[in-house]
Chains A and B, each alone.
Chain A
């Protein structure tokens, strides 16, 4: 009997579908990939579903409902390896902005039938609920990094994904530093590489969609932003986007709460 192909499953929680779409955006590699693995569960792409256990589960999205908090445990049980993909899954995503607000603010907003909707007060990353074997950052993930991670897991090796900053990537790409050259505020020094330093290459500052790098110097970052005329409120805003719940960004943004009150 021929050796059966490893089973790949793709799961969705609260998300925009952009990270799993990155798999279908691998136009040149997609058919080769499906030759190597059995797509056992990928609802966006196929009706066909085959039973677990799965060799590798890719999980997109964050946990925002009681039902999903249970469902992720089921996914974990059925998966030999579980890799989270994207800012929603690794840090709670943009929907984690609810974590900073009194949830009553939201509820107090005019609402026809609140009784129809169930949701948790927080949006949390998958790793706060179950053990995760690898986290791939980004909003969205870089599709080439995604392919590297899938390949690495299928061959049982460690993925080659750097934990250094976007600044390093800028230097590798030969970008001119937007802060030094144009005084543009940029989160590159504290943000994890992986995107290819796209924003600076497009003449704008990094806005942190890959989340904090391994050793981010957050207070120093705030000083640089302040030196480039960002107010406390604006610094808080830029830290609170797609990775707002990631600890270094979250804690630094909370330091600017007082400034926010005055503004």
Chain B
């Protein structure tokens, strides 16, 4: 029997702490685990008893890379619970804020975390030695995305201006138009990014994923839309828990998401793009076609191109919103709590982010449930790894390990997000006493 072990003890260039462990016995992939050992932080537990208005600031702290996503899913879920819809310019501003986060998060991943895999570097810093101009373009684009978040939200990480019902303070028109020139530059840079990414070397690899994303009536998804899949799912957020479930597995502090009917599924750029190609502006569609993408993309290694297309979309959308912005009279609409349950999903940079809150008449949160993209994708990452390893057994250990890491980074996994969840086993300091749930 020949046994080959592929191990990466500390995954780099991902958000959070994870490891990979795979075993090949007699040329067969026997065992693949993406271990997530990031300590859980139990957000859902301590949200219980908090005021419903605190959810956006508290849940933002689940993830420093996509705090806006948490703020957006939580405020919409609370508004759904309270029977309030936020429309007009406030809705536009929320979309604009989200565009800023997509740009910041996607560009960080494209240029600093993912590109080194394709170009053969350990990280962005040593990549910069040979590709300084490339990295500088990325940094400037990222800064443009962060500038949107800072103007609307006050700061780039954990912005302070989002509230249930809208905002605390609305930007003046001139504060937004001041961003215009840099966003225009950013749109051009994004187009160059799409073209550059299209020229990277991609392994021939496709899988028949169940792709899951939001699909709105007439726009590319950010804050709303029905949850749909290419295998027949079509539901509003209230139906999410009937269709999807989360499973706890031994090797991970993150839950694993599955559809109850069919198992693993995929959320994120590939799913969003493939299910909403027709919702992209024509110019963005054309750029994607020129980059050789087609209307659907099932090669996870090409997610870097799809992210670039989404960055192009986000710059475009941001400019569109800024150009027509008129400051509304009120920064928020009143939201009165009532005893109810509210569900909502938005599109975080990494994919569908579902929140449910049951609140009491006095506005206290009774139950919070949060399903982040990285836990939903985890079974798909492991299935990808299985196939990638099987197809690349001829590679030596180092090369195979590198290819596995790249496979994981295709997902831009956010491990901090994945490990927020409720339940725990306690070892008391010193004593080693263990409490189990009964």
Do B17 and A28 have beta carbons less than 8 Å apart? no
CA distance A104 to B428 in the complex (A): 12
State whether the Cβ of B253 lies closer than 8 Å to any Cβ in chain A: yes
Binary flags per residue of B154-172, CB closer than 8 Å to A gives 1, else 0: 1111101101000011000
Do B158 and A120 have beta carbons less than 8 Å apart? no
Known: A16-B61, A66-B427. A199 touches B45 (CB 8 A): no
Give 11 CB contacts A-B under 8 Å. A12-B16, A16-B416, A45-B123, A47-B13, A47-B123, A106-B45, A106-B424, A109-B437, A114-B425, A116-B248, A116-B253
Closest Cβ neighbor of B51 among chain A residues: A237
Do B54 and A237 have beta carbons less than 8 Å apart? yes
Contacting residues, chain A, for B50 (C-beta < 8 A): 237
- Counting chain B residues whose Cβ lies within 8 A of the other chain, the interface size class is 35 or more
Closest Cβ neighbor of A234 among chain B residues: B51
> Would you give the shortest CB distance from A209 to chain B, in whole angstroms?
7
Do B17 and A12 have beta carbons less than 8 Å apart? yes
Do B169 and A34 have beta carbons less than 8 Å apart? no
Interface SS of chain B: loop
> Would you give the shortest CB distance from A245 to chain B, in whole angstroms?
13
Contacting residues, chain A, for B67 (C-beta < 8 A): 16, 18
State whether the Cβ of B426 lies closer than 8 Å to any Cβ in chain A: yes
State whether the Cβ of B78 lies closer than 8 Å to any Cβ in chain A: no
Do B253 and A117 have beta carbons less than 8 Å apart? yes
Contacting residues, chain B, for A13 (C-beta < 8 A): 39
Closest Cβ neighbor of A39 among chain B residues: B125
State whether the Cβ of A101 lies closer than 8 Å to any Cβ in chain B: yes
CA distance A66 to B429 in the complex (A): 7
Contacting residues, chain A, for B39 (C-beta < 8 A): 13-14, 64-65, 68, 119
- Counting chain A residues whose Cβ lies within 8 A of the other chain, the interface size class is 35 or more
Contacting residues, chain B, for A12 (C-beta < 8 A): 16-17
CA distance A88 to B135 in the complex (A): 30
Do B426 and A107 have beta carbons less than 8 Å apart? yes
Closest Cβ neighbor of A13 among chain B residues: B39
Across the A-B interface, the 3 shortest Cβ-Cβ residue pairs: A18-B64, A46-B123, A111-B423
Binary flags per residue of B314-340, CB closer than 8 Å to A gives 1, else 0: 000000000000000001000000000
State whether the Cβ of A15 lies closer than 8 Å to any Cβ in chain B: yes
CA distance A11 to B286 in the complex (A): 43
> Would you give the shortest CB distance from A83 to chain B, in whole angstroms?
18
Contacting residues, chain A, for B146 (C-beta < 8 A): 25, 27
Binary flags per residue of A31-45, CB closer than 8 Å to B gives 1, else 0: 100100001001111
Do B122 and A28 have beta carbons less than 8 Å apart? no
State whether the Cβ of A81 lies closer than 8 Å to any Cβ in chain B: no
Which of these binds chain B: A92-100, A160-168, A217-225, A251-259?
A92-100
Contacting residues, chain A, for B64 (C-beta < 8 A): 15-21, 140
State whether the Cβ of B148 lies closer than 8 Å to any Cβ in chain A: no
Contacting residues, chain B, for A30 (C-beta < 8 A): 139
CA distance A55 to B331 in the complex (A): 48
Name the contact of B160 in the complex, choosing from A17, A27, A113, A199 (C-beta under 8 A).
A199
Contacting residues, chain B, for A51 (C-beta < 8 A): none
Binary flags per residue of B92-107, CB closer than 8 Å to A gives 1, else 0: 0000000000000000
Known: A34-B125, A101-B46. A120 touches B427 (CB 8 A): yes
Which of these binds chain B: A72-80, A149-157, A185-193, A200-208?
A200-208
Do A44 and B158 have beta carbons less than 8 Å apart? no
Name the contact of A21 in the complex, choosing from B57, B157, B435 (C-beta under 8 A).
B157
State whether the Cβ of A241 lies closer than 8 Å to any Cβ in chain B: yes
Do B157 and A108 have beta carbons less than 8 Å apart? no
Name the contact of A117 in the complex, choosing from B40, B58, B155, B168 (C-beta under 8 A).
B40
> Would you give the shortest CB distance from B96 to chain A, in whole angstroms?
16
Known: A16-B416, A45-B13, A119-B426. A94 touches B125 (CB 8 A): no
Name the contact of A47 in the complex, choosing from B58, B122, B169, B437 (C-beta under 8 A).
B122
Closest Cβ neighbor of A115 among chain B residues: B425
Do B436 and A114 have beta carbons less than 8 Å apart? yes
Known: A15-B416, A202-B161, A234-B51. A98 touches B42 (CB 8 A): yes
State whether the Cβ of A103 lies closer than 8 Å to any Cβ in chain B: yes
